[in-house]
Amino acid sequence: MPHLNKKQRLLIVEGNIGAGKSTFLKIIQENLACQVVFEPHEMWQNISGKGNLLDEFYKDKHRWSYTFQSYAFITRTLAQKKSAKENPHLTQVLERSVFSDKYCFAKNLYESGQMSDLEWTLYQEWFNWFFEDYVQKPDGFIYLRTTPQTCYNRLKKRNRSEEQEVPLSYLTQLHEKHENWLINKQNLDYYVQDVPVLVLDCNKEFETDKAQKNELINKITSFFDLNLHCNKEIFDKNLI
């Protein structure tokens, strides 16, 4: 049964494209008692049978940046809200968030000239309005810190059609944005300035390494216990 009478804790996993977020979240899903909400890729790839917005975005960022970032915000928020109503646990873990959209992806598109001054201003205005009423403030971020080259290699390995033309330079730009946000905490809005961040080095392949998986899980539970003043019993599954 969903925990309707208790505020669910919200933890967000962030990282560059190819950082290992989906793999990391599957490990969390299998070993910790929490609800995992993956990015709504399917919604971006099939807009009511009318087309693949994600593919259009990668083909022509100048044309589709504002449209894609707007739709990404809406679908992320809807997915989080819908899943929260069905969550049998006290904790919800998201794959990325509207915050990485704003501080990394949308900001990078604006600074690289793919989004106009007007579009960037509009994006920020309705973002702030929506946040006040529809977005839950996170209890913590987990940053899967990975080099752009490692991310690039993983993109080539997983071979998603929309990502085949993603250049290393784009991943480098996004890496810098993640670093400025989650490590250096530059130019942040008030609502995320005090959110604690757990930084994990994810350059090594951890999917098949049992010891490394257990180490990552232990770091997550310790992060909750020490930084969020939350008992580890919120994660009641056994380790691998």
The residues assigned a catalytic role are 95
For the chain, the maximum distance between any two Cα atoms, rounded to a whole number of angstroms, is 51
Phi, psi (degrees; rounded to nearest 5) at 143: -100, 115
92 forms beta bridges with 10, 35
User: Cα(131)–Cα(190) distance, rounded to whole angstroms?
Assistant: 12
User: Cα(20)–Cα(235) distance, rounded to whole angstroms?
Assistant: 21
Q: Quick check: 98 and 76 in contact, CB under 8 A? A: yes
Report which of 11, 80, 6, 12 is spatially closest to residue 43, judged by C-alpha positions: 80
Tokens of 219: 């770091």
Report which of 217, 216, 219, 221 is spatially closest to residue 234, judged by C-alpha positions: 221
Contacts of 59 (CB under 8 A, 6+ apart): none
User: Cα(53)–Cα(22) distance, rounded to whole angstroms?
Assistant: 21
Measured between alpha carbons, how far apart are the two ends of the chain, in Å?
25
